[in-house]
Structure 1
Amino acid sequence: MQALTWHGEQDVRVSEVPKPEIVNPNDAIIEITATAICGSDLHLYNGYMPSMREGDIIGHEPMGEVVEVGDEVETLEVGDRVVVPFTISCGSCWFCGSDMYSLCDNSNPNAEIARKVMGHSPAALFGYSHMLGGYAGGQAEYLRIPYADVGPVTVDSGLPDEQVLFLSDVFPTGYMAAENADIEENDTVAVWGCGAVGQFAIQSAWMLGAERVIAIDRIPERLEMAREHGDAETIDFEEDDVYDRLMEMTGDRGPDRCIDAVGTEAHGTGLVGFADQAKQEMHLQEDRPHVLRQAIKCCRKGGTLSVPGVYLGRSDNLPFGPVMNKSLTVKTGQTHVQRYLDPLLEKIEEGEIDPSFVISHQASLEDGPEMYETFNEKEDECIKTVLTP
Structure 2
Amino acid sequence: MIFNLAWETDVQSKQVYAYPKDDYTVRYKANATGVGTLTSFTGFFKDTDLYDLNTRQIEDAEFQILDGYKSSQVLAYATDDDTTNKEEERRGVNIYSGGYNFPTDRFENGIEFIYTKFFAKAIHINDVAITSGGTYGAQMPLVFGDDYNTVTDAEPNYSLAPRLLYYAGRRNGYDGYVRLYDETSSASSAFDFPAAFMVNYNDPSGVDFNLSFSDEVTNYSNVMQGVFKTFHLQTYKRIELGKLYTTYVKWDNSLISNLSFRRKGLIGTGKFILQELEYNPKSKRPAKTVLLYDEKPNTTDLSKVVNTITLAGASPQSGTVTGSGSGLVGASSVTVNIQLSYNPFLNSSTNVLVLPVNSGLTQVSIQSANVLVFQNGQKLLPSIQYTISGSTVTIDSNVHYEGSNYEVIINGVTKG
Give me the TM-score of the superposition, normalised by structure 2.
0.21
Pair member with larger Rg: 2
Structure with a larger share of its residues in helix = 1
Q: Normalised by the size of structure 1, how large is the TM-score?
A: 0.22
Query: Hey, which of these two has a bigger chunk of strand by percent?
Result: 2
